[in-house]
A and B are shown apart, each in its own frame.
Chain A
Amino acid sequence: MDKIKFATVWLAGCSGCHMSFLDLDEFLIELAGLVDVVFSPIGTDLKDYPEGVDVCLVEGAIANEENLELALEIRRKTKTLISFGDCAVTANVPAMRNMMGNKTAAPVLERAYIELADEKPHLPNAPGIVPELLDRVLPVHEVIPIDIFMPGCPPSADRIRATLEPLLQGKTPEMVGREMIKFG
Chain B
Amino acid sequence: MAVNTLTIDGKEIAIEAGKTILDAAKEAGVPIPTLCHMEGVHDVGACRLCIVEAEGTPKLLPACVTAATEGMVIHTQTEKLQNYRRMTVELIFAEGNHVCSICVANGNCELQDVAVDVGMDHSRFSYRFPDRGCDLSHSQFGIDHNRCIMCTRCVRVCDEVEGAHVWDVGSRGPDCFIVAGLDQPWGEVDACTSCGKCVDACPTGAIFHKGETTGEKEGDRGKMAFLTTAREKQEWTR
Q: Which residues of A are interface residues toward B (Cβ below 8 A)?
A: 83, 86, 89-93, 95-96, 98-99, 101-102, 136, 139, 141-142, 146, 149-151, 153, 175-178, 180-184
Contacts and interface: CB of A to CB of B under 8 A. Distances in A.
Given A136-B129, A182-B112, A184-B106, A99 B121 contact: no
Interface residues of B, number: 25
A141 B100 CA distance: 19
A90 B121 contact: no
Contact of B131 (A90, A91, A99, A183): A99
Contacts of B100: 86, 153, 183-184
A184 B100 CA distance: 4
A177 B146 CA distance: 26
Tell me the interface secondary structure of chain A in the complex. mixed
A178 B116 contact: yes
A90 B96 CA distance: 12
A136 B121 CA distance: 22
Contacts of B120: 181
A176 B86 CA distance: 13
Contacts of A180: 121
B112 A181 contact: no
B234 interface: no
Contacts of B146: 99
B102 to A, nearest CB: 6
Given A90-B123, A149-B122, A184-B107, A177 B102 contact: no
